[in-house]
Chain A
Amino acid sequence: MYLALQRYSRPSTVHECLELLHAQGGRAALLSGGTDLNAREHEALTHVIDLQALPLAEVRASADSLRLGARVTLARLRREPALARPELAALREAAGAYAVVALQNRATLGGRIMVDRGTEDLPTALVALGAELELARRVDGQIVTEREPYPVGQRARAALEGALVCAVVLPLGTGRSALRRFGRTAVDQPLASVAAASRAGAIHLAANVQGPGAADLRTLPRSEALASAWLAGRPADWRAQARVALLGELAACEDPWASGDYRRDLSATLGVRALAAVFGEPEIV
């Protein structure tokens, strides 16, 4: 038992929720699935604000976008009919790659976004898919809701502090996506993951290359530009060219689990496979 909680609240409105958070300062935390509440030793917390009574578990599809409430669980992402589209495969794969079934039943989209420390597959998929976040903040006593691009990089992520993720909005079209990741075991966090998505006539790539010195989740604009030109037709050696481009953009992040060179090479391999899946070509030749 690591927690010293003295108060549990279950607000029924976003306004009430953010007022409670503001009133308690750093001693309060928003509680969604709770998968990291005990595991991350939050001894300083005295108050948790449970989000389960808020109407944040809705999935709503329109002609050109999909809105996923922040309390949609990863288990639901895996089986949700609205996600059964080739263009959202990366999201389903990221949800299925998270830990084990029992934790997928608890972990929520918003929760995983907020606790991400550069160790998650889900943000990699969301960035490649062009996700935006619907955020609610308390500004000068008023609750302001805004839609913002998914934050990439530590500085952008810091802006999420104090905000409530209400929903993730994904553009819909007719493309494909794929996430390829590798961890030491099936339930370990990935050593690296790369997501690719084709959307609006272009390829979008995101990579999560972990390790000290890693610049967190990143996009790969030069590799994207190269791969986008291949949507209409690819040279025979496109895999070799993609590999060189990816290696040029990926960081060599070393930690006790993997050397920098290994991790960068692994990421390039994952990137080529993700691109092959998006192009509808064999991943291994």
Chain B
Amino acid sequence: MKIELKVNGKDVAWDCAPHEFLTEALRRHGLLGTKRGCESGDCGACSVLLDGEEVPSCLVLAAQAAGHEVTTSEGLGDFAAPHPLQQAFVDHTAIQCGFCTPGMVIAAKALLDVEPRPSEHAVRECLAGHPCRCTGYVKPIQAVLAVAATNAGGEAR
């Protein structure tokens, strides 16, 4: 089946199977920042923004995303021009293997878009669905709070 949606600001028309989840469809089209993890919504590694809200793309059929707007970590920034959140994760060493990091950045972006200066509790709640086995849980929180302190995270790019 053919689905039309907007991915990282661009209108696309993709062929997908009825059983294909959004994670697979995105990765098949080269958007590898969206990781395939638990495939049950528990790990957060596949998080994307769907119409501005963080969702686990492993639980969204690609067909369900038709007519909607999807933003992946690639849509936030890249090596040449990283998003402030991506840069903050690097600056605060809130990253090691990097597998779960795009999902955390996406979650933080969703939070800062609606709450530019969140409390630490709100940041912790936002990242609660993103278990990390490398860096622990303090540095990602510090990275998000650092961006919030500059109030730059709420600016969409």
How many residues on the A side are at the interface (Cβ–Cβ under 8 A)?
A: 28
Q: Are A50 and B55 in contact (CB under 8 A)?
A: no
Q: How far in angstroms is the closest Cβ of chain A from B94?
A: 18
Task: Flag whether B145 is at the interface (Cβ < 8 A).
Answer: no
The answer, among A35, A50, A75, for a CB contact under 8 Å with B53, is: A75
Q: Are B47 and A34 in contact (CB under 8 A)?
A: no
24 pairs of residues in contact across A and B, judged by CB atoms under 8 Å: A1-B39, A4-B19, A5-B17, A5-B18, A8-B63, A34-B60, A34-B64, A35-B41, A35-B59, A38-B40, A39-B40, A48-B61, A100-B44, A101-B126, A101-B129, A102-B56, A102-B129, A103-B59, A105-B54, A106-B59, A106-B60, A186-B128, A187-B128, A187-B129
Query: Inside 8 A of B41's CB, which chain A residues have their CB?
Result: 35, 38-39, 99, 102-103, 106
Q: B3's closest neighbor in chain A, by CB?
A: A8
Query: Inside 8 A of A102's CB, which chain B residues have their CB?
Result: 41, 44, 47, 54-56, 107, 129
Task: Flag whether A3 is at the interface (Cβ < 8 A).
Answer: yes
Q: Are B54 and A37 in contact (CB under 8 A)?
A: no
Q: Which 5 A-B pairs have the closest CB atoms?
A: A100-B129, A5-B19, A8-B18, A39-B40, A8-B63
Chain B, range 84-139, C-beta contacts under 8 Å to A: 107, 110-111, 125-126, 128-129
Query: Inside 8 A of B55's CB, which chain A residues have their CB?
Result: 102, 105-106
Task: Flag whether A142 is at the interface (Cβ < 8 A).
Answer: no
Q: Are B56 and A106 in contact (CB under 8 A)?
A: yes
Binding site for B on A (CB under 8 A): 1, 3-8, 10, 31, 33-35, 37-39, 48, 50, 52, 75, 99-103, 105-106, 186-187
Complex Cα distance A39/B107, Å?
21
Q: Are B18 and A6 in contact (CB under 8 A)?
A: yes
